[in-house]
Amino acid sequence: MKDISCKLLVIGAGPGGYVCAIRAGQLGIDTVIVEAGKPGGTCLNVGCIPSKALIHAAEEYDRIVHLANGRNPLGIRTTKPELDLSQTIAWKDVIVGRLNSGVSGLLKKAKVKIVQGHARFRDGKTVEVETETGRQIIRAENVVIATGSAPVELPNLPFGGPVISSTEALALTSVPERLVVVGGGYIGLELGTAFAKMGAKVTVVEAQPRILPQYDAELTRPVAKRLQALGIEVMTGAKAMGLAKAGGTLLVEAGDGSEKSLAADKILVTVGRRPVTQEWGLDELVLDMDGPFIRIDERCQTSMRGIYAIGDVTGEPMLAHRAMAQGEMTAEIIAGHKRAWDKRSIPAVCFTDPEVVTVGLSPEDARRTEVDVKVGQFPFSANGRAMTKLAEDGFIRAVARADNHLVLGIQAVGQGVSELAAAFVLALEMGARLEDIAGTIHAHPTQGEAFQEATLKALGQELHI
């Protein structure tokens, strides 16, 4: 097989990798991308997109169930619904397939050469790829490592049998009667909530003192309230010890030190993700590491000249949009543009019920910088649009410097607040002050009005509370 030479080689066609390759192609850079699986990576194939499809299906089913029970205030009555999860999964697969084709089409449009197979470094400029038709050698002036991450496997709960990762959970064709979720982070709670709405009896086992420990307690309180309403049992301060010898039962050390047995048809382990740094020849390179992650600078450059790394393999936050932004920037740097990486305005969204959005600094984080801050918070219980949607739980909160009112962070929890994330990020990115947001006319009636009201509250000018 004839060797390939190029200016840029991208290893991995996940969100970061394919965006990097597309942007490089648009800039006229001779680009090759290598991917062992389908384009789109974890996010498109077994992560962000399929999980949101499942969450939406669960929400629709749960809504109809509540309409059927005759206890809703809307005056709507219907018959009891049925759920065919296999059809739901088939619908999800169609969406994933459409997006796979879309990514492939965009790469071809940008004149990026796609090589399918497993890549392995020979040295800093040479990679060999095992393809279906043989070994392909690729030599590149620049290389971008975008190998992503994989679910963490617990030593005492290896994947297999009833123990599954999020990948297998998104392919189930029937709803498990009893589901135990090990890990109360965003992945576990998103999927656990979805399966509870579809009829599963769900128990969450979390080792930390509370769920969603990466968020402050005030933000997660409405989520915990909703979990209780859905009948989800949450065990905090608890540790999964392993399967009972008979199987089908998870042994758990509860917070008080007692041992409990949880019967389960499926045990979903969601205790985090690890960077994929194995099996692609990391030992052939001399890269500085930051724990398990590849260390990069503000330009995504590694310790080796001409080698860049982006996305989950470079550390937290492990978010697709972070990888995309890094990929676009790296392509432009290789093209000779002046760019640098600024992570202050990266939003994080948790698609629980209700949803959680954070960008920038929380009140506690801001106070740690030894800067005096102003905090304004507006509840959805005082927002007309939220009332008409039966979505009064939650709030929007703005954090700003006390001296010049520069907005440092915005947080929200509530139904559908993920769609407000763009407004929050734009405010931080543009260097908005409280007066900028407070003086912007927000459409009425919308949940977005709570954003304006939160800044008015911080200024001491609140109108509707």
Tell me which residues are annotated as active site.
444
How far apart are alpha carbons 16 and 320 in whole angstroms? 7
Distances (CA, A) of 238 to 264, 384, 385: 17, 40, 39
Cβ pair 175, 195 in contact under 8 A:
yes
The CA-to-CA distance between both ends of the chain, in Å, stands at 71
The owner of tokens 């290896």 is 158
Token readout for 137 is 């050698």
Token readout for 62 is 């749960």
Interacting residues of 11 by C-beta distance below 8 A, sequence separation 6+:
17, 33, 34, 119, 127, 143, 144, 145, 146, 147, 280
Secondary structure (3-state) at 407? strand
The owner of tokens 């077994």 is 46
How far apart are alpha carbons 112 and 332 in whole angstroms? 15
Q: Which amino acid appears at position 170 of this protein?
A: L
* Burial class of residue 109, CB neighbours in 10 A (0-12, 13-18, 19+): exposed
Secondary structure (3-state) at 410? strand
Cis amide bond preceding 39, omega within 30: no
Cβ pair 31, 138 in contact under 8 A:
no
How many other C-beta atoms can be found within 10 angstroms of the C-beta atom of residue 4? Answer: 17
Can you list the positions of beta strands (E) in 79-172?
Answer: 113-116, 118-123, 126-131, 134-145, 149-151, 163-164
Cα 274–chain centre separation: 14
**H or E element that contains 350:** strand 348-350
Cβ pair 196, 61 in contact under 8 A:
no
Cα 91–chain centre separation: 21
DSSP class of 152: P
How far apart are alpha carbons 316 and 77 in whole angstroms? 46
